[in-house]
Amino acid sequence: MEKQKAPIDHNNAVIRVHGLKKAFGDYEVLRGVNLELFQGENLVVLGRSGTGKSVLIKVISGLLKADAGTVEVLGQDIDQLTTKQLQALRIRIGFSFQNSALYDSMTVRKNLEFPLVRNRRGIGRKEIDTAVERVLEAVSLSQTINQMPSELSGGQRKRIGIARTLILNPEIMLYDEPTAGLDPITCIEINELINEVQERYKTSSIIITHDLTCAKQTGDRIAMLLDGKFQREGSFEHVFDTDNARIKPFFDYNFIK
């Protein structure tokens, strides 16, 4: 399935990262990453496990602090923000976690209501119900509303995780390994959902993955993270049209040839 292109505004970067460095102990994971995400764009960040892909989006969302460099999200330098300002900015960013991170002790309904109730104090019951039904319908899982997360399959958990972020109508979506641990058919369904979300909610997204099917189906642009830096970026075909001994095997060992 080829992705239907949504218009990308190349004059409007919603995320700008410059010279980003992050180390854990002596191990420097990110060594001067530069990145721009444009309005309406799906940027796929590819790389092997442990290359710092997830660290990158955690720094962008303010979950981790950068050691050096600047991160600008929707025109705001996240390092300069107060806790309150950062909280307000985060509402405009959706973060889909690798393991969905659904609240175990809450039903699907409560999981979806949680961000809404917390951030829109005084919101009415009817409004909450409408919003919950809307996002559940968007991820085609209306029937799971009263189930507990433990009763859902891996694919359903991913979808509910995405639905939970959509309930606040985010402008940016950050997907951390959206297809990890899923069967190929569910992977394709998740890829389609990512594209649907972009079209329906007009989001700009960064998709962290090492799944080339996901990269090809969802990415407008691919960036290859190697040794803590982006080594190659462009269209899917451009990125893999290389003899680079470290990028080529990535393509060769995947299903798509």
Kindly tell me which residue out of 5, 10, 48, 118 binds other proteins, with binding defined by CB under 8 A. Answer: 118
Contact segment (CB under 8 A) with other proteins among 30-38, 117-125, 140-148, 228-236 equals 117-125
What element of type H or E holds 177?
Answer: none
By CB under 8 A, tell whether 104 contacts other proteins. yes
- Provide the residue count of the chain: 257
Which CB sits closer to other proteins, 174 or 239? 174
Verify binding: residue 95, other proteins, rule CB under 8 A. Answer: yes
**How far apart are alpha carbons 141 and 129 in whole angstroms?**
15
67 close to 21: Cβ distance less than 8 angstroms: yes
Centroid of chain to Cα 213: 16
Among 119, 213, 231, 242, binds other proteins (CB under 8 A): 119
Distance CA 51, CA 161 (A): 24
**Contact indicator for 20, 196 with CB cutoff of 8 Å:** no
Q: How many residues bind other proteins (CB under 8 A)?
A: 26
Residue 250 binds to other proteins (criterion: CB under 8 A): no
What is the rounded distance in angstroms from the CA atom of residue 108 to the CA atom of residue 149? 7
Distance, in Å, from the CA atom of 223 to the CA atom of 235, rounded to the nearest integer, reads: 9
Tell me if residue 73 falls in helix, strand or coil: strand
90 binds other proteins (CB under 8 A): yes
In the three-class reduction of DSSP (H, G, I as helix; E, B as strand; rest coil), residue 35 is classed as strand
**Least distance from C-beta 110 to other proteins, angstroms?**
12
Q: Which of residues 35-74 bind other proteins (CB under 8 A)?
A: 58, 61-63
Taking the complex as a whole, the smallest distance from the CB of residue 98 to other proteins amounts, in Å, to: 8
Residue 138 binds to other proteins (criterion: CB under 8 A): no
Binding residues (CB under 8 A) for other proteins: these are 58, 61-63, 83, 87-88, 90-91, 93, 95, 97-99, 101-104, 114-115, 118-119, 121, 164-165, 168
